[in-house]
Amino acid sequence: MRKVILLPLVLLILLLSSCKGPSTRPEGLTLKQIGQQLELLDENIIKVQAEDPLSPNGQKRVVPRTINKDGSLAVVPAGDWTSGFYPGVLWYMYELTGEVEWKEKAINYTDLLEDQQFNGSNHDVGFRMFSSYGNALRLTGDESYIPVLEQSAKTLITRYYAYVGCLRSWDFNQENWQCPVIIDNMMNLELLFWASGQTGNPVYHDIAFMHALTTMENHFRPDNSSIHVVDYDTITGDVRKMDTHQGYSDESAWSRGQAWGLYGFTASYRLTDHIDFLKQAEKIAMFLLEHPNMPDDLVPYWDYNAPGIPDEPRDASAAAIMASALYELCRYSENGAMFKAKADKIMESLGTTYASEPGENYGFILDHSVGAKPSESEVDVPINYADYYYLEALLRKKKLEAR
């Protein structure tokens, strides 16, 4: 008799659980816990600024980036390429919670980057300014942010080489490179597309569009993996060499670079409706998701071809970028349901296995990211852009499931 009763009860429980509304929080990590971590991080930033206010080059320490090799909190100047991500994290927390304290903190840290609108020393003006000022404008509607973003776009296009069809990424290593373009640069195009719509000037759109086309033509191998650095001849525009700066080898698939490409081409499709950009994003996604070295939890090793797999470090930042990109890509692709499920799996993994323990890591949300393994820089540590794209993915998941 007990067996007859038990089976319907189990079926009823399963049925009820399947009818629950979609979760708006990642498995294993709540918004309250995230908020507690970020409050701790803010306290630790203030301590560092009070005890050691200037960086070695004499610039004011502004935002947290990672944890140094000696275990101290790395608080970097406004000119650091990652400086926009922490203000962006605060803006996303405001968007997720509606709590004014996050808005106030976000405004304060965003304002500290104002002079970066003129920093044309590399391509990273897009990272710095659209993650901070771009989110500020989007969430507040405060038009005082517009001139700063417009100037940022003007600064960025000074790096455009018409004969190449790309924005030059870096100025260093000039003995080896003439016009190096990295796959990461796809992430800075959104600033230019925005500027074109804001100002009505097509030059921003045209430069961004051409950069994406040139990158699509020259950065990808037949298997749809991405080269990290493509160097161009500044006179002829021809490809001079292809190599890596942060991956395992010139021929390998550096995991964060693959994620940058996936994200960048997905965003470029949204902003242009150019179908080839969507197709490229889908190809990249399938390369990653079907790669034989992709772990079951979908948090990749720092390079898909790293020689010590499965004992190589994972890169939570690459996973967070990939999840955010997949949540957007699923809106446009015929494989949308599969891409959404994969993004959900990544977020579950990050929230359960790769999250910082409460009160640890100075308050960073995620642990286990990799900056540049070949130079043993930022290996298996928290990094601010991992937190940024994790929260962005959380927001995108929430909005998708609310529809």
Residues noted as catalytic: 124, 184
Q: Are 41 and 364 in contact (CB under 8 A)?
A: yes
**Rounded distance, CA 71 to CA 66, Å?**
10
In degrees to the nearest 10, what's the CA dihedral of 290, 294, 300, 301?
A: -130
Cβ-based burial of 107 (10 A; exposed 0-12, middle 13-18, buried ≥19): middle
Looking up tokens 């100047």, which residue turns up? 77
| All residues at 6 or more sequence positions from 315 whose CB lies less than 8 Å from its CB, including other chains | 255, 256, 299, 300, 301, 302, 368, 369, 370
Q: Are 393 and 324 in contact (CB under 8 A)?
A: yes
Q: Are 93 and 103 in contact (CB under 8 A)?
A: no
Q: How many CB atoms lie within 10 A of CB 339?
A: 26
Q: Are 341 and 22 in contact (CB under 8 A)?
A: no
253-274 burial, b at 16+ Cβ within 10 Å, e below that, comes to: bbbbbbbbbbbbbbbbbbbbeb
Tokens coding 241: 């060499």
